Amino acid sequence: MHNYLYQRLVAPREQSDTTFLILEDNTTLSYRKFCERANQIAHRLIASGVEPGDRVAAQVNKSWHALALYLATIKAGGVFLPLNNAYTAKEVEYFLQNAEPRLLICDPADIASLGPITQSYNVKLFTLSQAGTGSLPSAADDCPIEFEAVARDKDDLAAILYTSGTTGRSKGAMLTHHNLWTNAEVLTKAWHFTDRDILLHALPVFHTHGLFVATNTSMIAGGSMIFLPAFQIDAMIERLPLATSMMGVPTFYTRLLDDKRFTGELVKHIRLFVSGSAPLLAETHVEFEHRTGHCILERYGMTETSMNTSNPYQGDRRAGTVGPALPGIEIRVVSTEAGGPIPANEVGAVQVRGPNVFKGYWKMPEKTAEEFTDDGFFITGDLGKLSEDHYLTIVGRDKDLIISGGYNIYPKEIELLLDAIDGVRESAVIGVPHPDFGEGVVAILTGNSLPSNDHIRATIKNEIAKFKQPKKYFHLDQLPRNSMGKIQKNVLRQQYADCFQS
């Protein structure tokens, strides 16, 4: 038995001198050199006690070394657990407690805050900086550059990615080798990626979009990536003429459109722009095509499923829709009340079934069972409608989830913190349209002696990641409720829908 994902992902090119990564300083790294470094790290993981199925958690800054750690974990038979590097130590503690990883790799600057936590949970701690220094690379330097991949089958776990849950607790979505492979293979074909592609990659690598969609697809195709540490407008403008394709979140495209240097001439060599992780406003779609002549390809996916649908590579890319289901994947929209079929163009609950759909939530068998129908469809929590020719339009979510800048944010987590502040009687956290982030986080507070907004910001600053913190606060005498006493967040969303509009 081979290592299922590694064998299909990159093994055919592990001895190739073809360029895999073009780094920020314009140096290049071949598939061979990249795989050799991953092999050294895999040796170190095994020597540190990692056995098949063990979790390897990583809260590190984006770098090619972090990408090598991902491949090393897969090759060593481990389960990769990437964590947003904006998470606070208190948030990381939950993941260590829940996932019980064998190792945690963090930035050297975070040793003081994370060291005591890892000791409490008996997790070994290594460090890895963006520059490639730290205890992990130092320990790997003397390891052999050859490593025989640990055997793993298609149904074995390859990764756990945490996502928000209905209780406010993060849930670990278990993704198998087959989940990741089949989805990347479908995307490679659907989006016509080849070994001639150079993908401009400025996404983070701690969630599905940057790690599995962009990276796995490039590896399968044997193409190259311009691997930037983050989105920075000058670097993007400089690298765009060198690329053939780009993947991004809507924020990337709105910021490019705000720059006068971004022209059709600049991107004339690019064959494909892909957008996802958050809704792309129709006006952004139209403005982008008017400016460049390129029509952005929007797709729809989620942590639990990777990609589900995509506007066509060749054909009608419709603004405001996320296209038909990808090959081998089934999408249906059912009645939110009865669960049965509904006519085309009527709004209902979006459900998906296919080889891309995750295995379930880590340590949550009852929650997993709740999220699947009797005939095996995953209940996404999104509301949408299907056209007569099967284009899907997402219109909202029946799960109270905010997606801001491509990151999932669960309001209950923020509300619990706000409600604990002296003077706050009650809070409601909502997401409303934001021109840059897709959705912006807004908090509405009630209370007779509410503290200042500055005091509230300072109180929660170190409790949750910055991207979760409300961008605006509003005060009301009381929150709107229905006859059952439930807060009507739909009313609040309507009331504050324009608060980020200039």
Instruction: Kindly provide the b/e burial profile for residues 213-225, where b requires at least 16 CB atoms within 10 angstroms of the residue's own CB.
Output: bbbbbbbbbbbbb
What domain range includes position 326?
208-397
- Provide the CATH number for the domain around residue 138: 3.40.50.980
251 and 353 share one domain? yes
Residue 267 lies in a domain: yes
Which of 397, 432, 467 is the C-terminal boundary of a domain? 397
- Name the pTM for this structure: 0.85
472's enclosing H/E stretch is strand 472-475
226's enclosing H/E stretch is strand 224-227
356 and 456 share one domain? no
274 and 384 share one domain? yes
Q: Is the pLDDT of residue 501 over 60?
A: yes
Q: Is the pLDDT of residue 391 over 60?
A: yes
Residue 311 lies in a domain: yes
- Provide the CATH number for the domain around residue 422: 3.30.300.30
Q: Is the pLDDT of residue 485 over 80?
A: no
In whole angstroms, what is the distance from residue 40 CA to residue 50 CA?
A: 14
Residue 277 lies in a domain: yes
In whole angstroms, what is the distance from residue 122 CA to residue 125 CA?
A: 9
309 and 389 share one domain? yes
The alpha-helical segments, DSSP class H, found in 159-205 are 177-190
Give me the pLDDT at residue 166, please. Answer: 38
Residue 353 lies in a domain: yes
372 and 232 share one domain? yes
Q: Is the pLDDT of residue 486 over 80?
A: no
CA angle 216, 222, 227 (to 5 degrees): 65
Q: Is the pLDDT of residue 257 over 90?
A: yes
Q: Is the pLDDT of residue 382 over 60?
A: yes
Give how many domains the chain has, as a whole number. Answer: 3
346 and 240 share one domain? yes
368 and 433 share one domain? no
In whole angstroms, what is the distance from residue 318 CA to residue 496 CA?
A: 28
Q: Is the pLDDT of residue 152 over 80?
A: yes
Mean pLDDT of 401-426: 86
383 and 417 share one domain? no
Confidence band of 165 (pLDDT split at 50, 70, 90): very low
239 and 367 share one domain? yes
Give me the pLDDT at residue 96, please. Answer: 97
Confidence band of 167 (pLDDT split at 50, 70, 90): very low
343 and 406 share one domain? no
244 and 123 share one domain? no
Give me the pLDDT at residue 483, please. Answer: 46
Q: Is the pLDDT of residue 426 over 90?
A: no
Residue 180 lies in a domain: no
Residue 123 lies in a domain: yes
Percent with pLDDT over 90 in the chain: 81
Residue 172 lies in a domain: no
In whole angstroms, what is the distance from residue 317 CA to residue 295 CA?
A: 7
433 and 376 share one domain? no
Q: Is the pLDDT of residue 451 over 50?
A: yes
Average pLDDT, the chain: 93
The predicted-structure confidence for 323-361, as pLDDT tens digits, reads as follows: 999 999 999 999 987 788 899 999 889 999 999 999 999
Which of 153, 184, 200 is the C-terminal boundary of a domain? 153
- How far from the centroid of its chain's Cα atoms is residue 375's Cα? 27
Q: If you write DSSP's letter for every residue of 56-108 in order, what string do you get?
A: EEEE--SSHHHHHHHHHHHHTT-EEEE--TT--HHHHHHHHHHH--SEEEE-G
- Provide the CATH number for the domain around residue 389: 3.40.50.12780
Which of 380, 397, 414 is the C-terminal boundary of a domain? 397
Residue 174 lies in a domain: no
Mean pLDDT of 385-389: 95
